[in-house]
Structure 1
Amino acid sequence: MNNIKNKFSIKDLENLSGIKAHTIRIWEKRYNLFQPNRTETNIRYYSLASLQKILNISYLNKNGYKISKIASLNADEIPALVKQIAEENDKNNHTINLLKLAMINFDQGLFYKTYNDLINEFSFKDIFYDVFVPLLDEIGLLWQTDTITPAHEHFIVELIKQKIILNTEKALNNSKPTKDTNAYVLYLPDNEVHELGLLFTNYEIINKGSHSIYLGQSVPLDSLQFLLSQYDEITFVSCFTVKPEKDDLVNYLKEFDSKLLKNTKNKLIISGRMTSLIQDLSNPNITTYKSTKEVLENIQYV
């Protein structure tokens, strides 16, 4: 079965390129840039080639090229010009477009080639913040607007996860682990599965030479208590993206404090969307941040 999406509505083109649908229609009529197809029921749709073309046109337009100039270029000149500009001064946006195409096509080869080109020039940390994070932000919007399916999102997220794990393994191989009385314990609460930010935090902590224990998704509080007997001081790190839910947040933090922080040197650091719903946080041992980047900028390594 061919699962590659190869038919796109004009709304899909708008969502993927950032160019408004009415602008695409004007360009189509005035400059004959696209030739939409029609279904048997006379519904217009665009091909994958049209999507690739609108992404390239959007890129050139954002880099100062007027649409009249772009329309005068032949089919081979447009991608060549995009590549030239990307190599000179704006690689990230072009790279994000390539990764979106890899996602739409379920094309692992294109993902790996694009990533390998990046890793030859930039650190993994820079790739994560400057390429993967903006890409994931865009993917969230594409999913919300039904431009992509959950399968597309899972595909690209799992590929990014592989790269974080690979770089974590390299960091571990380069470190000299010691038995420390202090540790970072990274976990996600029950039914929370969004772990990319936490995985990257784990990578950075290990890269700094500190002791990290990665527990991953959906960890019950009771299972964390065993660690209290193993370490004198623990910094728990978590990310609340969808869990605990709003009505459960206060009780969850009270229970966490009672079981894992009270009468200890332990701390809890939280990032993620749900932290914006935490009101009147007065516990000095619990700190919230908006993003993974903020966590890593403020963390006190032990």
Structure 2
Amino acid sequence: MKRHFIKVAMLRTGLTSHTIRVWEKRYNAVSPGRTETNRRLYSDDDIAHLHLLHQVTQGGHRIGDIAHLSPDELHRLTTVLPAQPNPLQVPHEIAGQQGYVDRALQSIRQLDAIGLEGELTRAHSDFGHAQLIEQVIEPLMRRVGELWHEGSLRITDEHLASAVVRRFIDGIRQGLQTASDAPHLIVTTPTGQVHEMGALLVSVSAAAAHWRVTYMGPNLPADQIALVARHNGASAVALSLVYPLDDPALGHELIKIRQALGDELPLIVGGPAAQYNQPILRRIGAVQLGALTELRQQLYNIHSTDARN
């Protein structure tokens, strides 16, 4: 039977190497062979099993609850709707997510990059892509921003958090595979908006929702946003507005973006500064996200509309 190195397993399952190793060690999800130099070797069956586990966790199941299931049992879970959370379990899960946020924040205060990455890796293993981004990383970075603006965190703390989280997000995004005919999302921030963490979170959340994503970095002029959207045949454009909150030039820039994109292309806008520009967002027909958790539903709505047309 042919066996493969972990890089092949990553590409075929959409999982990061961190997650594969944690699922193997903590949950005995697979038992790979080893080369003479102790490198892991995964069979086709191992990779298929990891892929099934990934599918089921994306549907809302926790890896600890499903790792012991047979392939047939996992297949059955992929054919039904995602499990609805038990109300009695929700407080425990929320507490678990908050625990990761608290411990990650402690690592940041201690300038412990390895400790921070370890917390993110364990949270990723427990919750999967979507919940990690929406319930752990997004609230963590929002809290980091609040504490920094209050003066309770040093600039070195904020820089370490941003660097580690960005590297971790990039690792997840590189491990995600999307179909060549999947809908395409352009993600950026407008001119004058230089904070990119929100845009990065949007990009990996969309990729986890099986969209192709072109992330253009921050501070992109309206005409260049439109150029990238046209060149890629984009199904939508997403903008993150973070800081400054009350930039007087931002409203005009948003109007320019809509004019450059045309009236039909969906424009998704989120971030703290979005609420300061609600009249403009309504005027240009943008979809405003109240929270990152709303992104997947909006992407689903856009894709469903495209499929009907």
Settle same-fold status: TM greater than 0.5.
Answer: yes
Shift, 1:279, TM fit = 4.4
1:114 equivalenced with 2:138 (yes/no)? no
The 5 Å alignment of 1:246-285 reads 246-262=247-263, 265-281=264-280, 282-283=282-283, 285=285
Partner of 1:291: 291
Change (3 A) 1:94 1:287: closer
Describe the superposition over 1:16-56 as per-residue Cα deviations: whole angstroms up to 9, x where unpaired.
xxxxxxxxxxxxxxxxxxxxxxxxxxxxxxxxxxxxxxxxx
Amino acid at match of 1:100: L
SS class of match (1:131): helix
Q: CA RMSD in A?
A: 2.8
The 5 Å alignment of 1:145-294 reads 145-172=150-177, 175-178=178-181, 183-227=184-228, 229-230=230-231, 234-243=235-244, 245-262=246-263, 265-281=264-280, 282-283=282-283, 285-294=285-294
Describe the superposition over 1:148-167 as per-residue Cα deviations: whole angstroms up to 9, x where unpaired.
11110111122111111111
Shift, 1:186, TM fit = 0.8
Q: Greater RCO between the two (CA within 8 Å, min separation 6)?
A: 2
Is the Cα contact below 8 Å between 2:187 and 2:216 reproduced in 1?
A: yes
Is the Cα contact below 8 Å between 2:186 and 2:216 reproduced in 1?
A: yes
Is the Cα contact below 8 Å between 1:240 and 1:271 reproduced in 2?
A: yes
Is the Cα contact below 8 Å between 2:267 and 2:286 reproduced in 1?
A: yes
SS class of match (2:236): strand
Partner of 2:141: 136
Describe the superposition over 1:225-278 as per-residue Cα deviations: whole angstroms up to 9, x where unpaired.
32354355541110111258442233222222222224xx31211111121122
Change (3 A) 1:106 1:225: same
Larger Rg: 1
In the comparison of the two structures, how many residue pairs are matched?
211
Q: Distance in 2 between matches of 1:232 and 1:245?
A: 32
Q: Distance in 1 between matches of 2:255 and 2:261?
A: 10
Any stretches of 5+ residues in structure 1 without a counterpart?
1-86
Shift, 1:105, TM fit = 1.7
Change (3 A) 1:228 1:197: closer
Q: Which has the larger share of helix? A: 2
Change (3 A) 1:93 1:231: closer
Partner of 2:39: none
Any stretches of 5+ residues in structure 2 without a counterpart?
1-91, 304-309
Q: Distance in 1 between matches of 2:132 and 2:249?
A: 35
Q: Distance in 2 between matches of 1:301 and 1:164?
A: 24
Describe the superposition over 1:61-88 as per-residue Cα deviations: whole angstroms up to 9, x where unpaired.
xxxxxxxxxxxxxxxxxxxxxxxxxx99
